Structure 1
């Protein structure tokens, strides 16, 4: 008998431990989801419109790919609507007026990003929770990495001083305005935005429009979130503009630097060709960063092309100077146009071929007196002096010709040196003016577009 009573008592105790009271939250979930169908729009009257409020918040810009025309960013995409099947009287559930439930268990509006390329959810639906209020208001938030299309080619002509509007097109995939009406919250949320190293986020605004697709008579609501970003040009200025400016400047100085008296210029032409090759490599790197477009040439590409043109003209000018300087080997006199150019800013170039008395510069005056004195002393001496003059005359003629050649050579050297200096100044002034104009135009566009979009 004692053992029977003990067994009954143990059974009662174990039953009390295995059976527990239902919690308020469990009662509420059972009440709400007893006949809930998440595949149907949660309205009692099918003609009732479900209004969905959109409130995305951009957290950070991850990357941009101008060549592929895409932008990647992190956002919290929040949606709020009223689910008519998920409301309760909080007094019936111990004052509980809010419930967290996995979003995989409730109806969700089919809101999509039309220009989406790829999206990655940081929190999956079975681990993401919706906040449900007692009046049926539902709040969900997607933490996602969005990679979407952005038309960089439209304003790429201003690169690297470009500003772009990457619009995120948000709409219901299948429901018209009569079924789901979406509208944005104003203003948009940038409270948690983290700055990017290359891009400034100028503005993040929204606009709403109605669109009719194909043969549908009912309009669809589209929300456009305009993400206006502006590039910070400092990286491209230090990586491309500054090196190309230094290379071109050194090339111009090297091409028109003082040369040897022999007139060798082959190294200068080689330097010009090397500069062209270097600039072409830099231009190719910049081109790979840009989308293929026929709408215009980016500002940086145009700057590099003009620098290549300046270097090419400088190299051709060096070839011209080499041909011009070689004229002294033919004992050609300096053309008048060259004398006028080189004498414009310098002391006139002159050289004396013969003394003013008509004698050779190498013909001495004192030996003539000796010869004349010898002539007066007698015919024998006279005859000797005439023979001596005949022997010396070819030597004097040769020395005089050599002096003329040296004079022409020196005059050609001085004229070409002066012309080199003029070309060096002209090309460097043109190069500096091009760079100043490029920077001035670029920063003016940055300032104007920043004020236009703020």
Structure 2
């Protein structure tokens, strides 16, 4: 127990000296490496050899996405790696080192402003904000000359959005890395990332409320830019790295807030317009319901207009869907108004239903049975019985020689017959009109049911065709 205690005390007393020794060795090595070092010269002994800069960005967060301005702002840890042949000490002679400790160091930390750094930038960046000031950044330098630098930045860059399939769209935003001044013979930009997002980026971006990050692919390109200073005919070729971030939108918000309410509202409007009715007043109430539905959909359209990104290529899927719903609701209202006018015209003018419409809906008149009922009513009518009694009396009195009285009775009978015939005609006309009205009511009910089925199914098929 005492041995352990004394060992711990001895290590604690020697630890400051060890740290001091390592710090001094790192400072001595850094001073030796940076002696006669130039931060403006490419770090290669062979000037014909390009410097290979490896880029490995880590996306830490999506700060903003402006679809109208077509820009995406990312918080990125920009990682760069290259080899500085002037800062290598693995193959140096012993005379180069001031102490054995400095020779045994495998890595040192050097302020980034004291060494050469590549002028690699994001070409399509709209701006750049360094989270840490440049003079505060530290570069890790290894004994073989490998330099590692991590620069946290917030970069808004141009991204062309294809919103034709909004809100079920997938977007590809490309970061273009390259040297601002050095050609492909002087610097080559590449990466060692595979086609998937780094683990840290995936963990961070999975929590985003609107976007799923699918992949981060890369492609090396050689791009020819015109060198206007040297000659208009000679172009310089630059090494570029195109890193494409593929994102898929999460459509749940738009489905539950816009698509489903609009679809349900349209179906309710169609049902309200074409539910079978009993009178013209009910159809007028349907027109009022349809107009209220259109006003509600106008409010939804206003909400959608704020959510849908603008594009010169036309409306996205969500815009077409809302437009389709408004048009089908407006068409249902127009047809209902037309049926209202038609129904009123048939009632006021006692129009007989056309044969093709009767045949289409398997309707027929009930005048035969009505006629039999009318004849029975007339035969039992008091006037008809009175007339029959008078006729019997006349036939009996015809046997008497009083011709004048017989003629008067015959005139009375003719008058009664005329009145009864007129009464019978009026009854038949009223019942025929009632029969026609009843047929029209049944026809309009069946027409409403047919239109209800057509609009109900049509709205479903139209919505499916828009989004499929």
CA distance in 2, matches of 1:224, 1:418: 64
Change (3 A) 1:264 1:349: farther
Which position in structure 1 is the counterpart of 2:110? 101
Give the drift of 1:418: 0.9
Q: CA RMSD for the aligned pairs?
A: 2.9
1:339 to 344, 348, 358: 358
Normalised by the size of structure 2, how large is the TM-score?
0.79
Q: Kindly tell me: are residues 358 and 217 of structure 1, through their superposed partners in 2, closer, same or farther at Cα, counting changes over 3 Å?
A: closer
1:124 maps to which of 133, 146, 154: 133
Aligned pair partner of 2:327 in 302, 309, 315: 309
Residue in structure 2 matched with residue 234 of structure 1 by the alignment: 252
Q: How does 1:196-275 map to 2 (within 5 A)?
A: 196-215=208-227, 216-275=234-293
**Is the 8 Å Cα contact of residues 56 and 76 (structure 1) preserved in structure 2?**
yes
CA separation of 1:54/1:293 partners in 2, compared to 1, >3 Å: closer, same or farther? same
Deviation sequence 1:17-48 (CA, Å, 0-9, x none): xxx99822332232233443434433445444
| Whole-angstrom CA distance in 1 between matches of 2:167 and 2:58 | 27
Q: 2:169 aligns with which of 154, 159, 162?
A: 162
Distance, in Å, in 2 between the alignment partners of 1:329 and 1:404 is 14
In structure 2, relative to structure 1, the CA distance for the partners of 1:126 and 1:320 (3 Å cut) is same
Q: Which residue of 1 aligns with 2:367?
A: 352
Alignment of 1:337-416 (within 5 A): 337-343=356-362, 348-352=363-367, 355-356=370-371, 363-367=378-382, 368-377=384-393, 397-416=425-444
Which consecutive residues of structure 1, in runs of 5 or more, have no partner in the other structure?
1-19, 442-454
What secondary structure, in the 3-state scheme, does the structure 2 residue paired with 1:30 have?
A: helix
For residue 308 of structure 1, give the secondary structure of its aligned residue in structure 2.
Answer: helix
Query: Judging changes above 3 Å, is the alpha-carbon distance between structure 1 residues 325 and 111 closer, same or farther for their aligned structure 2 residues?
Result: same
Shift of 1:412: 1.3
**Secondary structure of 1:142's match?**
strand
1:107 Cα shift? 2.2
Distance (Å, rounded) in 2 between the aligned partners of 1:359 and 1:51: 109
* TM-score normalized by the length of structure 1: 0.81
Structure number with greater Rg is 2
Structure with more of its chain in helix, by fraction: 2
Structure 2's unaligned 5+ residue stretches are: 1-19, 228-233, 395-405
Deviation at 1:320, TM superposition (A): 1.6
Q: CA deviation at 1:245?
A: 0.7
Q: Distance in 2 between matches of 1:35 and 1:108?
A: 17
Q: Distance in 2 between the 1:341 and 1:280 partners?
A: 38
Partner of 1:17: none
Q: How far is 1:384 from its partner?
A: 6.4
Q: Of 291, 299, 304, which residue of structure 1 is paired with 2:317?
A: 299
User: Structure 1 residues 51, 214: closer, same or farther in 2, change over 3 A?
Assistant: same
Distance (Å, rounded) in 2 between the aligned partners of 1:185 and 1:290: 37
Q: Tell me the equivalent position of 1:13.
A: none
**How many residues get paired?**
415
Query: Structure 2 CA distance, aligned partners of 1:81 and 1:261?
Result: 86
Change (3 A) 1:331 1:105: same
What's 1:148 paired with? 157
